[in-house]
């Protein structure tokens, strides 16, 4: 279990409104966490497995869901489609690093009841993400400590979002769900030039 940076970093609120996602969240973006041996080991193994450089990895995010907490249907590709490939409209970080082509999701605890990850599993009705009832998940993954899943958010040419990958976290009914997300981008997410450029950009 990665403890580095978690205790001090865990926030009860995140950037999403509570009806979208109401979990505690923290990011492994402090030097303390990013340089932890277990984090290096994990990103090294994942990099070898995927054949993708670890500079394409976003810093890991840790989430904790308590009973009643959930995350509604959403794509992970990060506004790529909605905002488009345009320097004016897209988040600058994601213009350079490209979309989150893959999601590597690890369950860090067992959950007594609920907390499954549900996938749309079909391309039909992709434009109706919000009204799609939760029950329509074609695939449900039960949380289990040590289990990890990997999915593609984009089609093979990586520019088009894959509607079948739209997913949600069902509410935890009993127990606590700890999990971690590692998003893999199409290009380098952590190039120093990127951050230097942002820091120097006129505001």
Ligand X SMILES: O=C(O)CCC(=O)C(=O)O
Q: Which residues bind ligand X (CB under 6 A)?
A: 63, 71, 76, 117, 167, 169, 179, 181
Nearest-approach distance from CB 154 to ligand X, in angstroms: 15
Q: Is 17 left (phi over 0), alpha (psi -120 to 50) or beta?
A: beta
The smaller minimum CB distance to ligand X, of residues 150 and 191, is found at 150
The smaller minimum CB distance to ligand X, of residues 175 and 191, is found at 175
**Which partner from the list ligand X, Fe ion, none does 179 bind, CB cut-off 5 to 8 Å by kind?**
ligand X
Map the footprint of Fe ion across residues 51-110, applying CB under 5 A: 76
The smaller minimum CB distance to Fe ion, of residues 43 and 168, is found at 168
Nearest-approach distance from CB 153 to ligand X, in angstroms: 10
**CA dist list (Å): 155 to 23, 77, 164, 175:** 29, 11, 10, 35
State both tokens at 76. 């992970």
Q: What beta strand segments (E) does the chain contain?
A: 24-27, 61-65, 71-74, 100-107, 113-114, 117-119, 139-141, 148-152, 167-169, 172-174, 177-185
The smaller minimum CB distance to ligand X, of residues 2 and 191, is found at 2
What residues make contact with Fe ion under the rule CB under 5 A? 76
């Amino acid at each position: 279990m990665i403890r580095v940076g978690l205790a001090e970093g865990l926030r009860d609120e995140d950037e999403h409104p509570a009806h979208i996602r109401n979990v505690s969240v923290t990011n492994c973006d402090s030097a303390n966490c990013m340089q932890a041996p277990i984090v290096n080991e994990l990103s090294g193994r994942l990099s070898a497995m995927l054949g993708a450089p670890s500079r394409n990895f976003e810093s890991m995010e840790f989430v904790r869901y308590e009973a009643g907490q959930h995350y509604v249907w959403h794509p992970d590709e990060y506004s790529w489609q909605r905002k488009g490939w345009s320097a004016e409209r897209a988040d600058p970080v994601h213009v350079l690093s490209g979309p989150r082509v893959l999601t590597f999701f690890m369950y860090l605890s067992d959950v007594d009841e609920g907390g499954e990850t549900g996938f749309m599993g079909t391309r039909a009705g992709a434009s109706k993400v919000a009204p799609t009832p939760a029950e329509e998940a074609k695939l449900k993954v039960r949380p289990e400590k040590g289990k990890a899943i990997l999915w593609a958010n984009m089609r093979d040419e990586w520019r088009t979002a894959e509607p079948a990958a739209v997913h949600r976290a069902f509410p935890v009914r009993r127990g606590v769900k700890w999990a971690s997300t590692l998003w893999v981008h199409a290009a380098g997410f952590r190039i120093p030039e990127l951050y230097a450029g942002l820091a120097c950009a006129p505001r």
